[in-house]
Structure 1
Amino acid sequence: MTNPNENKEAFYYQLASVFSGTPRTDKVLLIGDFNTRTGRDNYKCHLDVGKHGIGKRNSNGEFLMALCSEFELIVTNTMFKQKEERKTTWMHPRSRHWHTIDFIIARCRDKMDIHSTRAMRGANCWTDHQMLRSKVALRIHQEHNRQGTSKPTKFNTAKLRTTSHRESVEQEMDSALAQWDEKETSTAGRI
């Protein structure tokens, strides 16, 4: 039987290898049941946890916080001030205390894209966990043309005003569409 800490380390090692292979410019949302507690009192020394956490951090939380620190991630559940019932996602069956063990995690530089993260108490998900909902407005930046890449061809539509040029373009388009129809009918019989 394997040591549970070895399993945790292997899991977070795999997760770290996925993050290290992901470009830093990509938007990332890591969503899941991590069975960790991030705690409430540690926000002063960590950028990865907001000041609205629940309870105390456990050993699993240390693994998660190490991952967040290494890859500049933030736990979005802890960023927003809200009622306790909207923060907690799971109730311990014996103690009947509510805990936050499910998380939505994003890159620190994208935290302005996250408008809220909260637990949905009324959702029937056929599980003992509460569903998490996050309102996200993704701002995707357009890539700039790099030096040496060609720009798309622009067509001179002013030439279409002359009847001779317009007729030649129409003939070329008719022949291209006829060839397309022939290819389509020949492949339709094979499917």
Structure 2
Amino acid sequence: MAICSYVYSGDRVFSRQMMSFILKFRYHLYYSGGERAEHGVGFIVIGKQMKRVIRWKPINDRICVLRIKGKFFNYSLISIYVPTNEKPDDTKDAFYESLDKAYRDCPRKEVKIVIEDANAHVGREQFLYPIIGTQSLHSATNDNGLRLVTFAAARRMAINSTYFACKDIRKHTWRHAIGSTYSQIDHVLVDERHFIDVIDVRTFRGPNIDLGHYLVIAKIRARLSSVTSQRNNRTMRFNIQRFSAEGVATEYRQKLDERIDETNVTGNVQQHVGGCPRSCDYNGTRSDRYSSAAPTKRLIRLKVSQRVPNEKNASRNRMLVIGTRLNRERYGEARSAEKRTHCE
């Protein structure tokens, strides 16, 4: 899964396990962002798909590349965040030069897929039909759209997000936080020779990512590799022959004894157990400090932090079903309340 226009201040690459009432899975985050945390792009790889990652290449805070191992072809996924239409032309030219270089650096025989927050309106001009199709939400192409179409034509790619027929509600990829303005600015580009492998591209409005963007899902017919382990991940072997050298075995024994002495618990065991804030007595009862049934401040804050996101999601669902001005204002108030909760 590609993420665009995302700001994150933690580790650039890390792995974590998530649990829910239904399933448990592990995901790996690859993030490319600048030091000022203004923009950011990246990928989230879930579960066993991490073993199929060949290479991760962060370029800047707007472009990154992730290579996936396939059965017949490898896949180069390029996640980009294009400058908005109001930015100067020099900024846009520099961005597309970096994007063109990142595309050329990918192996020639691999399948290239560009997943982007393009900030571009692609129209329905007839002379652009071979590249953009006929199912765009907008009727006219703006400046960012022309730059996107020019890049796709130069690299023999197709803008698949404007090829498939669906309701306009499935074409909206961005929505103003409170207003009723909708746009189709997130696109998916695939090489022309693999165009037939793309089954569908559409928007799903249900997931609430709280960024003004909807979730765009592209269904692509792909055969990934059935590799079960990484090629270069070999088990380290210990050099046992070094113990035959003079003094090595004695030094190893001394250091091992020192480590064992450091880990041993000495003194009164009750002092070590009593230092735990949630300690129990020897008869199995809780200590008097935590025996009160009154809720603590931490528990109250936890309940509030769980209630506020639920209220925000409920307000968003009402706004999507009945998009009145009152429902939009209530959703904006719920978002502000959640942000205040995180800042406390």
TM over 0.5: yes
Sort the Cα spacing of 1:63 and 1:99 in 2 relative to 1 into closer, same or farther, 3 A: same
2: CA distance between counterparts of 1:131 and 1:94?
A: 18
Partner of 1:91 in structure 2?
175
2: CA distance between counterparts of 1:94 and 1:122?
A: 17
Is 2:103 the partner of 1:19?
yes
1:5-27 deviations in whole A, cap 9, x for unaligned? Answer: 11011101111111223333211
Partner of 2:66 in structure 1?
none
Alignment of 1:48-127 (within 5 A): 48-55=131-138, 56-92=140-176, 96-127=180-211
Which segment is superposed worse, 61-70 or 90-99? Answer: 90-99
Sort the Cα spacing of 1:24 and 1:185 in 2 relative to 1 into closer, same or farther, 3 A: closer
Is 2:92 the partner of 1:29?
no
Which segment is superposed worse, 103-112 or 85-94? Answer: 85-94
2: CA distance between counterparts of 1:123 and 1:95?
A: 19
1: CA distance between counterparts of 2:119 and 2:97?
A: 17
- The structure with higher relative contact order (CA 8 Å, sep 6+) is 1
Structure 1 residue runs of 4 or more that deviate by more than 6 Å after TM superposition: none
2: CA distance between counterparts of 1:81 and 1:185?
A: 64
Alignment gaps of 5+ in structure 1: 141-182
SS for the counterpart of 1:117 is strand
Sort the Cα spacing of 1:121 and 1:33 in 2 relative to 1 into closer, same or farther, 3 A: same
**Which residue, 89, 92, 108 being the options, matches 1:5?**
89
Alpha-carbon contact 2:121-2:185 (below 8 Å) kept: yes
Alignment of 1:145-160 (within 5 A): none
1:77-122 deviations in whole A, cap 9, x for unaligned? Answer: 1111001011110124686231110111111111111101111111
Normalised by the size of structure 1, how large is the TM-score?
0.68
2: CA distance between counterparts of 1:128 and 1:40?
A: 25
2: CA distance between counterparts of 1:8 and 1:16?
A: 12
1:127-178 deviations in whole A, cap 9, x for unaligned? Answer: 10001101111257xxxxxxxxxxxxxxxxxxxxxxxxxxxxxxxxxxxxxx
User: What's the offset of the Cα at 1:41?
Assistant: 2.8
Partner of 1:137 in structure 2?
221
2: CA distance between counterparts of 1:19 and 1:60?
A: 19
Alpha-carbon contact 1:86-1:120 (below 8 Å) kept: yes
SS for the counterpart of 1:109 is helix
Over aligned residue pairs, what C-alpha RMSD do you find?
2.6
How many residues matched? Answer: 145
Q: What residue identity is the alignment partner of 1:110?
A: H
Alpha-carbon contact 2:119-2:144 (below 8 Å) kept: yes
2: CA distance between counterparts of 1:62 and 1:92?
A: 23
